[in-house]
Amino acid sequence: MKAAILEEINGPLTVGEVGLTDLTFGQVLVKVLVSGICGAQLQEIAGNKGNAKFVPHLLGHEGAGIVEDTGVGVTKVKKGDKVIMHWRKGDGIESDFPSYLFKDKVIKSGKVTTFSEYTIVSENRITPVPHDTPNELCALLGCGLSTALGTINNEAEVKFGESIMIIGAGGLGLNLVRAATAASAYPIISVDIYDHKKELAESLGAHLFINSQTQNIVEELDKKFNIKEVDVIIDTSGNKQAIENTIPLLSGIGRYIMVGQPKPGETVGLLNANHLFGGEGKMIKATQGGKFSPSKDIPRYVKLHKAGILNIDHIITHRFKLEQINEAIDLVRKGQASRILIEM
């Protein structure tokens, strides 16, 4: 079967032939239908996730597929089931690391990978869904959209009509805009450094788009909504300057959620830190995947989508074949896409 393999840190992925091995305890063989791409894969390609010693290895951690076979002990799914693959742990067995054959050698992979025609996944990294669940939704619920919904719901605990500002209009930032609309936040402000994100952010539900390179955030907030502060700020950029500039904009009930990670070793300063004691006492919090709990959350989200309440229109902006994966990765790197789908 074909798979995209990271052979060399910072190199392009090799799309080549990879062999499957026998399933062990708690493993599931899945025929992959679609996969998403997210920032985590860029980090892995750059060797920033402690993965450099494991190359060559496979990549991808959000996708949809059909169960082909199950290893000993697996009870959650059976052959023919449609499943979402996700990086966060759900119910079920945590299997050993899957093995594949590449260039006559055995290579190991993470407990879930999705950039291949077939994949071996740990039982706790898949969740069955009804067959009529759209592939696009499945890929989004494997990571980006679920992280966004969890960040809004579990971490920021956004209330109806609270104002929210989302820094960064990349894949996750745009999912957060959509998730904020589901929570009836108002206004929803999207901030980025590229003007071409404006249209996309607004089509997903942002009430205002600010280019922080060319516009002053405070002036724009005042001009459009007559406000100087925001109740919830979510940073997806991890950019030190962006974080420092926006923490002082928290309202008295403000919650600041860090999703993007600042560079290791970097210091982020708190300007005029005493303002954090204003109002009810403000909060700064770093989130781990928005506390997304696949076994509990995926069925709720699928139901919301089916009822027409969770709209995913416009989130996926590009589609590629597996052979074009390097093109797709370049697009994510340049920040020119919302979410990209790889179709197997």
- Closest CB 59 distance from Zn ion, rounded Å: 11
Cβ contacts of residue 101 below 8 Å, gap of 6+? 18, 19, 20, 21, 107
- Closest CB 152 distance from Zn ion, rounded Å: 17
Contact 58, 18 (CB under 8 A): yes
Nearer to Zn ion, 5 or 59 (CB): 59
- Closest CB 274 distance from Zn ion, rounded Å: 37
With H, G, I as helix, E, B as strand and everything else as coil, classify residue 238: coil
Which own/partner pairs from 267-271 qualify as long-range (CB within 8 Å, at least 24 positions apart)?
267/240, 268/240, 268/243, 268/244, 269/244, 270/244, 271/244, 271/247
- Closest CB 143 distance from Zn ion, rounded Å: 3
- Closest CB 129 distance from Zn ion, rounded Å: 18
Nearer to Zn ion, 32 or 217 (CB): 32
Residue 7 carries which side chain, given as an amino acid letter? E
- Which one, of 300, 198, 57, lies nearest residue 190 by Cα? 198
Nearer to Zn ion, 175 or 246 (CB): 175
Q: What are phi and psi of 124, to 5 degrees?
A: -80, 0
- Closest CB 130 distance from Zn ion, rounded Å: 23
* Alpha-carbon distances, residue 171 vs 23, 88, 260 (angstroms): 33, 18, 12
Nearer to Zn ion, 39 or 187 (CB): 39
Nearer to Zn ion, 143 or 200 (CB): 143
| Cα gap 197→190, rounded to integer Å | 9
Query: HSE of 182 in the Cβ direction (CA atoms, 13 Å)?
Result: 24
- Closest CB 194 distance from Zn ion, rounded Å: 21
Residues that bind Zn ion (CB under 5 A): 38, 40, 143
